[in-house]
Amino acid sequence: MNQPKILIFACKWCGLIGADAAGKKRISLPALFRVIPVECAALVETDAIIRALAGGVDGIAVLGCHIGGCRYNNANHTAIKRMELLKDLLDTTGIGSNRLLFSFGTAHEDYQFEEIVKNFFDELVLLPPIDPWL
C-alpha cells in the first residue's frame, strides 16, 4: 500500500493549534491527510473511527492535550481509556491496532505534528490493506 490515507481528529486547543503551527512554519508534508477539528478528544466517537476505517481510510489519528492539561477536567483521560479498548478490538479482528494513533501534545510543540504525520505515513505503508470484505 503506497498511498495510505489518514484522517486526523484534532482537539480544538492543543491538537489544532499544533497543526496550525506546522502550517505557519510552512513545513512540507505529504498531502494525503485530512483534519477534522473537534472540541475535545473526548468528543471523537469510536463509531466514527470504525466508519472511517470501513470507508477506505487507512489510519486514524486523534490528537489531544496532555494528561492533566485538558481544560475540560481530564476528559481526555476518558478518551484514552476508550481508545485502549478499541485497540483490543481492532487487534482481535486482525485490522491491527497500529491503524489507530492517539497522541498527547501541547500547542507549541509544532515539530510534533510533523513527526506524527510523517511517522504514521511510514508505518501505514508497511501494513497490508484491509481485507476487501467491505
Is 51 one of the binding residues for other proteins (CB under 8 A)? Answer: yes
| 25, containing H or E segment | none
The cell numbers describing 60, all together, are 486514524
State in angstroms the smallest separation of the CB of 95 from other proteins: 6
Given candidates 1, 15, 44, 121, which one binds other proteins under the rule CB under 8 A? 44
Grid coordinates given for 122 = 511510514
* Residue 4 within binding range of other proteins, rule CB under 8 A: no
Assess 108 for contact with other proteins (CB under 8 A).
no
CA distances from 14 to 36, 41, 53, 113 (A): 14, 10, 25, 11
Interaction of residue 124 with other proteins, rule CB under 8 A: no
Count of residues binding other proteins (CB under 8 A)? 82
Residue 49 and residue 51: Cα distance in Å, rounded?
Answer: 5
Spatial separation of the C-alpha atoms in residues 14 and 11, rounded to whole Å: 6
| Residue 53 binds to other proteins (criterion: CB under 8 A) | yes
Q: Which is nearer to other proteins, 2 or 56 (CB)?
A: 56
For residues 64 and 14, the answer to whether their CB atoms sit within 8 Å is yes
Q: How far is the CB of 2 from other proteins (least distance, A)?
A: 14
**Should residue 115 be labelled a site residue for other proteins when binding is judged by CB under 8 A?**
yes
